[in-house]
């Protein structure tokens, strides 16, 4: 038996729930989900009493809780928040739902995908509105915004000559691309490169910062 730094009987008030869940067979990951902390924090608390994570949890979700959880999932509530409110491990709840009604988890995944898509679309619209407002950057006026297959933001822009081009937003921010690249446009940019680059970098500095909303 490992030597305990502190007897369980003398557990600090804030540690008692960790110990209770551990004694019920919950592993560190499940305790972390239920308590809303990291696994490392759970490990630290348990090791203070000489306790180690169990290999698997024997915790089961009560039938009444399971029915309630499934109903809430159909209302598109977050599974982790449901588990937290019920004081059960998210992993245990997810497994119980999967066995009883896997469609509920499918709907949850679809809702998460839709939320991600909506958030990305909003972010694209915000970036487009900003870069339109500060255009032209060099000879380029931003007309559209998208995210490519590598996750990079790309601006669809129209050069002063009328030619359309696609530019990485990162290049536009640093003033590395300021025209469509045609010889005449390139020469025009070179003549005022310092001014154009300064404007691009100032625009990048003033660009509104994106803040990811917490689930």
Mean pLDDT of the region 194-210: 85
The three-class DSSP label of residue 178 is coil
- Closest CA relative to residue 144, chosen from 134, 133, 132, 161: 132
- Choice among 106-115, 122-131, 172-181 with the minimum mean pLDDT: 106-115
The three-class DSSP label of residue 57 is coil
- Choice among 3-7, 31-35, 184-188, 198-202 with the minimum mean pLDDT: 3-7
Considering only residues 208 and 142, tell me which one the structure prediction assigns the higher pLDDT: 142
* pLDDT grade for 58, boundaries at 50, 70 and 90: very low
Alpha-carbon distance of 87 to 90, in angstroms, equals 9
Q: Which residue carries 């009560």 as its tokens?
A: 62
* pLDDT grade for 213, boundaries at 50, 70 and 90: very low
The residues, any chain, with a CB within 8 Å of residue 40's CB and separated by 6 or more, are none
Alpha-carbon distance of 59 to 76, in angstroms, equals 25
Task: Give tens-digit pLDDT for 136-179.
Answer: 988 899 999 988 877 788 889 999 898 999 989 888 888 888 88
Predicted local confidence at residue 26, as pLDDT: 78
* Residue 88, number of CB atoms within 10 A of its CB: 24
Predicted local confidence at residue 210, as pLDDT: 61
Respond yes or no on whether the N-terminal peptide bond of residue 207 is cis (omega within 30° of 0): no
The residues, any chain, with a CB within 8 Å of residue 66's CB and separated by 6 or more, are 93, 96, 97, 100
Cα angle value 178/179/184 (rounded, 5°): 130
Predicted local confidence at residue 140, as pLDDT: 92
* Rg, the chain, Cα only: 27
Cα angle value 34/36/79 (rounded, 5°): 65
Predicted local confidence at residue 60, as pLDDT: 53
Predicted local confidence at residue 215, as pLDDT: 38
- Across 44-192, the runs of DSSP E, i.e. the strands, are 140-147, 153-159, 164-168
Considering only residues 80 and 165, tell me which one the structure prediction assigns the higher pLDDT: 165
Alpha-carbon distance of 7 to 205, in angstroms, equals 56
* pLDDT grade for 214, boundaries at 50, 70 and 90: very low
Q: Are 33 and 90 in contact (CB under 8 A)?
A: yes
């Amino acid at each position: 038996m490992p030597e305990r730094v502190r007897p369980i009987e003398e557990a600090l008030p804030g540690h008692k729930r960790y110990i209770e869940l551990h004694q019920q067979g919950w592993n560190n990951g499940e305790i972390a989900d239920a308590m809303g902390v990291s696994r490392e924090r759970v490990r630290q608390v348990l090791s203070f009493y000489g306790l180690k994570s169990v290999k698997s949890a024997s915790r089961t979700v009560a039938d009444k809780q399971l029915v309630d959880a499934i109903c809430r999932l159909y209302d598109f509530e977050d599974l982790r928040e449901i588990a937290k409110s019920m004081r059960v491990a998210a992993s245990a709840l997810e497994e119980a739902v999967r066995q009883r009604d896997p469609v509920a988890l499918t709907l949850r995944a679809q809702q998460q995908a839709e939320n991600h898509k909506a958030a990305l679309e909003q972010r694209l619209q915000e970036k487009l509105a900003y870069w339109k407002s500060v255009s032209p950057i060099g000879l380029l006026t931003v007309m559209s915004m998208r995210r490519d297959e590598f996750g990079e933001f790309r601006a669809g822009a129209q050069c002063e000559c009328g030619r359309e081009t696609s530019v990485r937003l990162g290049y536009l921010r640093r003033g590395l691309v300021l025209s469509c690249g045609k010889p005449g446009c390139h020469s025009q940019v070179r003549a005022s490169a310092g001014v154009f680059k300064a404007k691009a970098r100032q625009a990048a500095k003033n660009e509104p910062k994106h803040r990811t909303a917490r689930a």
